[in-house]
Structure 1
Amino acid sequence: MDVQLLLACSVMMTLMVVLPGPDWAYLIAAGTSGRSILPSLSGVLLGYLVTVAAVAVGVGAMVAAAPWVIVVLTFAAAAYLAYLGVRVLRDPPVVARADAPVAMGVGAPPATVDRPWLRLAQGAGVSGLNPKGLLVLVVLLPQFTDASGSWPISVQLAVLGLIFVGCCAVVYTVVGLGARAVLRFRPSAMRIVSRVSGGAMIVLAVVLVAEQVPHLAGWA
């Protein structure tokens, strides 16, 4: 694969992973629970690995047969991202203070759960059903593939998907380990992160649409 494509994909994947979502909520809750984040983190990564395998097989064949499908999915994803951005700006998540119960909403593991296998399963469910993850793997990754390359598109998607999972491993480890030291004792930090991520989602939605306009002009 082209090295420049790999670098560009790595940058885009990192930017997407640092945007807070259900994964962040789950790992922050795990980090502030006082238990090891390893089962929760492993579950999140396992969910994405399964999704990567499915996308590499199914989306690879779809892209080869009907490239226009990606354009349609991109517009749908842009609309969804804009919606999420506005929602986060209007109703940012709240992190409880250090002396209060942690309430992280969707994906937060119950305080009474202390079974590693169950937290692993919960993490897999959180990432496997995360719309942001599906957006990255189904819509963004195919844009970094090269139909004329020596590698089949399915293999390219698998490699790019593993880059995404690697970015998740690094970022979510920092999120989980840093949650107790930062967010739990400074709830205002989450409000700042929410404003930045909400605005970034809206900007990314505009960029996605702008990138697809030339394709529409070429088909007109």
Structure 2
Amino acid sequence: MDSVSLLSFLAVDLLLVCVPGADWAYTIAAGLRGRSVLTAVSGLVAGYALHTALAVAGLAVLVASSPRLLTALTVAGAGYLVWLGWGVLRRPGVPGAGEALDASGPRVFLRGATISGLNPKGLLLYLSVLPQFLTAGGARLPVPAQTAALGLLHMACCAAVYLTVGALSRALLTARPVAARAVTRTSGAAMLGIGAFLLVERLATL
């Protein structure tokens, strides 16, 4: 794996990370809850750290070769997104209403880790995209080390993009409670819609 492969992966990875999805929705919602942004993003990154560890251990190949296991993970992730999105729609966050959530840092962290850990887009990256940038023969680094390097690069991209999104949503919407509520509801609807679509799509293949 050379610098060209790293730069190519970085370009593709940034494109995927910058596409709004469940991670974005959760980060925006956290941005409206004050200091929970860093904790929420740390949780999201931790979920991808788990993906990276599993990929390095070779378990990603096992998941990819087992349609039932892949389906179970996808359904679990989609179901969790539906549940979380419905909760956000029922109780949209507004600026100044996040102190109670901030006081429960472990819960914010765990929710973020669950979202990214079960995120089908994350599964797609580690099962389909990342392997294309690995060099099996004649490489300076063994495949597990290459996998770890690309996984760490993805985690860094996620941290940079999501912290920016959370900070911007907080800065731009703090003084606009009506807009903040609308954005939060949109984020909740996005999570619910993405989850419902993935559930229907995956269950239709059974």
What's the TM-score bracket when you normalise by the shorter of the two chains?
0.5 to 0.7
The separation in 1 between residues aligned to 2:172 and 2:16, in whole angstroms, is 21
The separation in 2 between residues aligned to 1:131 and 1:29, in whole angstroms, is 20
Unaligned residue ranges in structure 2 (runs of 5+): 75-87, 195-206
- Taking a change above 3 Å as real, the CA distance of residues 26 and 2 of structure 1, as seen in their structure-2 partners, is same
The DSSP-based 3-state class of the residue aligned with 1:150 is: coil
1:117 aligns with 2:141: no
Alignment of 1:1-220 (within 5 A): 1-58=1-58, 62=61, 101-102=92-93, 112-113=100-101, 114-148=103-137, 149-182=139-172, 185=176
What percentage of aligned pairs have identical amino acids? 38
TM-score, normalising length: structure 2: 0.65
TM-score, normalising length: structure 1: 0.61
The separation in 2 between residues aligned to 1:141 and 1:124, in whole angstroms, is 20
Deviations 1:129-151 (A, max 9, x none): 11111111221000011112232
The separation in 1 between residues aligned to 2:92 and 2:15, in whole angstroms, is 30
What amino acid does structure 1 have at the position aligned with 2:93? V
- In the TM superposition, what is the alpha-carbon distance from 1:46 to its structure 2 partner? 1.0
Unaligned residue ranges in structure 1 (runs of 5+): 64-68, 81-94, 104-109, 199-220
Aligned 8 A contact 2:47 2:113 in 1: yes
Deviations 1:43-99 (A, max 9, x none): 111111111010122157x49xxxxx79xx9xx9xxx9xxxxxxxxxxxxxx99xxx
What amino acid does structure 1 have at the position aligned with 2:155? V
Q: How many residues align?
A: 159
Could you say what the CA RMSD is over the residues aligned between the two structures, in angstroms?
3.4
The separation in 2 between residues aligned to 1:182 and 1:59, in whole angstroms, is 41
Aligned 8 A contact 1:59 1:138 in 2: no
Normalized per residue, which structure has more helix? 2
The DSSP-based 3-state class of the residue aligned with 2:136 is: coil
Moved more, 123-132 or 50-59: 50-59
